Structure 1
Amino acid sequence: MIMSPTSFVFPSSLRLVVPDASLGPLSPKSAATSIRYDPCDKPPCRGCSSYLMEPYIKCADCGPPPFLLCLQCFARGFEYKKHQSDHSYEIMTSDFPVLDPGWTAKEEMALLEAVMDCGFGNWQDVANQMRTKSKEDCEKHYMKHFINNPLFASTLLNLKHAEEAKNAETAIPFYPSDDPPRPTFDSLLSRDMAGYMPARADFIEEFDNYAEWDLRDIDFVEDDSDILHALKIAVVDIYLSRLKERQRRKRIIKDHGLINLRKFQILERRYPREVQDLYEAMRRFARILGPVQHDRFIESYALEFELRREIKRLQEYRVAGIRTFCSARMYDRLKTSREEERLKHTMLAEVLQYIQDSSACHQWLNRQAAIDSGLNPAMPVASNSGRRNAPPLNLSGLPGTEKLNEKEKELCQVVRLVPGAYLEYKSALVNECSKQGGLRLAQARALIKIDVNKTRKIYDFLIREGYISKA
């Protein structure tokens, strides 16, 4: 009967040490590694301290730990402390057939170990190591019972289906095919990703990167006092807790897809501002809820927010005396036109403010004329606040200047941006635009963390020159 190890305890008993059928593999390597047999793995005899060789005796009344005796000590009635010679016992042996009447369990384990040591297909070497079976016997038995065995195949198929079902239940909110970005070393995106290396699926520096330093000088010796030994054990326990924290943080990053953080930040911006604020506030609790439950909570709140806004809009129609959706659409168009008129009045007030200073008014008119003609106004509008504008940046000798055209050089001089940083920002914006099919100013400001006015000038320049397009 093929099953897990069993034992029969009466005055004597027999333990069948056989491999579990569920461990049966399909691949040669996994089959060979499923069971390892080493006589030195067993504890020594409690009577003579010699290594136990099958068959040997195990006391059924003593333990744990198990009380084991060799046949010689058992025959002379060895007794020790609570163990008495009249206790019930079990005979531990593997000298019985398991899969084939001509093969014992001991030979099955020896075959698997020989295949692992010599490699699948080297049947002559396998037979030489076993010494009890020929080359043809080894090959025929292994292929029949460990490769072409339908019992093992169906067992592994069921295990595979169970694993797939488990993964489906604990699905994370991003697909395995999503490829994280591969930025150049020490670039802006690489620093945002905390030095993550996609090829190794690990970080350049670990969390609590110097945790191992506390163990580098620890050595357990026999001369240690009890207090010193306990202190070393405590240090090791502290180190293990720090390792658990490191793995916990990695698991949170993996489950929530925080490697490609900017991608998820862009996806978050599809929500209204109020939902974005809740998303940011609830981010610290994501480690408790898990990825799926956290996203469901945010989605439910976003739905509630949309319903509240729709109810508020319908209440506004009701206050205005609107009873039909056709009238509501007309009301929305009229409301939009009123907002546009209000903005025009606001722009007129801004012009009147500049008229108070003749010099500022003249420069403002020149700037508006340059914008209308499609040129880049290099001269900023002067203000009456008394602040002096910074002089243009001198690009001579700066690395990367030779890669810029004349318009880009002019932009870097006015914005006071070194060519290397500009090229990096340009590459990030162009790549993001190609991925998203367009780019908004808010997305550009999220990608490059510099002054918002400089970001707008770079964004407008790249739009005007055709490097990127608006979403």
Structure 2
Amino acid sequence: MTVTHRKRTANDAEKDIAESGVKYHCDACSQNITDTVRIRCAICSDFDLCVRCFCSGAELGKHKSWHDYRVMEQHSFPIFDVDWGADEELLLIEGAETFGIGNWQDIADHVGSKTRDECEAHYLQVYVESETWPLPDMHKKFDMDPEAQAARKRQRLAQRVNRVPAPVKAQKPMTSQPANHEIAGYMPGRLEFETEYENEAEQIVKDMMFSEEDTSEEVDLKLMVLEIYNAKLNKRLERRKFVFDRGFLEYKKNQAAEKKRTPKERELLNSMRVFAQLQTSEDYDKFIDGLLKEMHLRERIAELQEFRANGITTLAAGQEYLREKVNRQTSLRHLIRDSSLNDRRNARSLPQRSNMDDSSSPRGSTALGKVVPPVRKPANPLNIQNAEGIHLLTVPEQALCSTLRIFPKSYMIIKEQLLKEHARLGGLKRRQARELIKIDVNKTGKIYDFFVEAGWIQNSDA
């Protein structure tokens, strides 16, 4: 079969309009010879000529006029159905092998002279529902004289020419996309996923064959491989059924429902998903509802205990307490934020003040000769009640970290370095502590004094 693509002209537009299926063109003159007798070369691969070019001895490429040939006619005589010719039966089988059973529109386009519904109905009736399945009834006979066959052939050609052109098919998506399906990778028409569980399972059996020469050990081995393959298929079906039953494909609905839950509820659901495979859908929903109810009860009990600890005995007073608590926490966050902003502003403006004082008088002194240090507002204490490692510090250490605005984790590192250096040297000077800890010297000095007062460090300067 030679299929060529060329620009259609007005002469053959009337003949080719609305025509689909396999087409044959003359390799010499490019004439459409689909519905006429054609000459096929028996030596050259896929080389066809029209009768006129064959009679004139056309030679093209490796084809020579003395090559053996075959006369190819349209086998319009019926073999299984009076409305289907042998050539149409052949095209139907070729289309099914090429595009797969079920893709009837592509198969109908391959046949060319039949519609989608006609191809599907004919295949089911002649091949699937045949009494001699899997083969069709091969003993049917149709008494048609040559004139009737010729008349039927002319009728088929007329129907093909006058056929209404099918609408242009939209380009199929190469992969499943959320715009076409509910979830990426899922093919709803086939109830399958692009990447299945154990997606490479078919690789172990695709080349397996049983022959009479196989020994009993080889047969047992192949049967074991098939058993393993069937086990993988069963697991694949179970997982697919699990996805369908739990409604995981409705991702928009699930996402909207998840957004309505609190962060604690989402954390609980994510930690309990592992038990979904061990329960049915109804049992799992009851299990989750029970856990959420328990969590809400525990939160309510803790809330009532907090009311009782603060001397609150009525629910109305408790609601007022919660509102004031939220306001206090909001004010505290704003205070910490404003304090950090002021610290950064003071840090940027401090060098400028020092330069101004130095330029106004020598060495930053006034007319009386006294040094006036720059005035700096002390920073607000840092709230470290919820900081990591707070439980490792004593109450005085917590107060020190809050005053110096140092987090407990950083303080523990500083403490460890100072105590190790003190143990190595047998004593530690203030200057050595400042050289060891590369932070603000004032903060290092206060930490050093605190350790000396606590008796952890022996002052070598004294």
Q: Normalising by the residue count of structure 1, what TM-score does the alignment of the two structures yield?
A: 0.35
Question: Comparing both chains, which one has the higher relative contact order based on Cα–Cα distances under 8 Å and sequence gaps of 6 or more?
Answer: 1
Which has the higher Rg, Structure 1 or Structure 2? 2
Q: Normalising by the residue count of structure 2, what TM-score does the alignment of the two structures yield?
A: 0.36
